[in-house]
Amino acid sequence: MYIGIDVGGTNLKAGLVDENGKILAAERMPLGEFQGEGALANSLVDLAEAILQSSGTDLKDIRHVGIGIPGAVAGGDVLYTCNIPMRNVPLAELFQRRLDVPVLLENDANCAAVGEWICGAGRGAKDFVIITLGTGVGGGLILNGKLYTGGGIVGEVGHMVIEKNGEPCNCGRRGCWEAYASATGLIRMTKETMNEHPNSKLWAVTLENGGVDGRAAFQAAEREDAPAKALCKKYVEYLGAGVTNLVNILQPEILAVGGGIAGAPEALLMEPLRDLVARECYPRHAGKLPKIIPAELGNDAGIIGAALLHRAV
Cα distance between residue 158 and residue 178, in whole Å: 4
Beta bridge partners of 74: 77
Q: SS3 of 243, please?
A: helix
Question: 166-170 — which CB contacts under 8 Å span 24+ positions?
Answer: 170/136
The least CB distance from residue 70 to a second copy, in Å, is 12
Cα distance between residue 18 and residue 95, in whole Å: 22
Cα distance between residue 184 and residue 176, in whole Å: 12
The least CB distance from residue 7 to a second copy, in Å, is 17
The least CB distance from residue 99 to a second copy, in Å, is 27
| Whole-number Cα distances in Å, 10 to 18, 39, 53, 311 | 26, 15, 24, 28
Scanning 36-44, 135-143, 203-211, 300-308 for contacts with a second copy by CB under 8 A, the matching segment is 135-143
Beta bridge partners of 147: 142
The least CB distance from residue 249 to a second copy, in Å, is 6
The C-alpha angle with vertex 74 and arms to 71 and 80, in degrees rounded to 5, equals 30
CB closer to a second copy, 23 vs 143: 143
Q: Is 203 in the site for a second copy (CB under 8 A)?
A: no
> What are the backbone angles phi and psi of residue 30, rounded to the nearest 5°?
-65, 145
The least CB distance from residue 98 to a second copy, in Å, is 27
Q: Is 143 in the site for a second copy (CB under 8 A)?
A: yes
Torsion (CA) 263, 258, 285, 150 in degrees, nearest 10 = 170
Residues within window 15-44 making contact with a second copy, judged by CB under 8 A: none
The amino acid present at 191, given as its one-letter code, is K
Choice from 49, 163, 167, 213 touching a second copy (CB under 8 A): 163
Residues within window 60-119 making contact with a second copy, judged by CB under 8 A: 72, 79-80
Q: Is 151 in the site for a second copy (CB under 8 A)?
A: yes
CB closer to a second copy, 4 vs 252: 252
Q: Is 255 in the site for a second copy (CB under 8 A)?
A: no
CB closer to a second copy, 60 vs 285: 285
Per CB under 8 A, residues contacting a second copy are 72, 79-80, 127, 139, 141, 143-144, 146, 148, 150-157, 159-164, 166, 171-173, 237-238, 241, 244-246, 248-253, 279-280, 282-283, 285-286, 288, 290
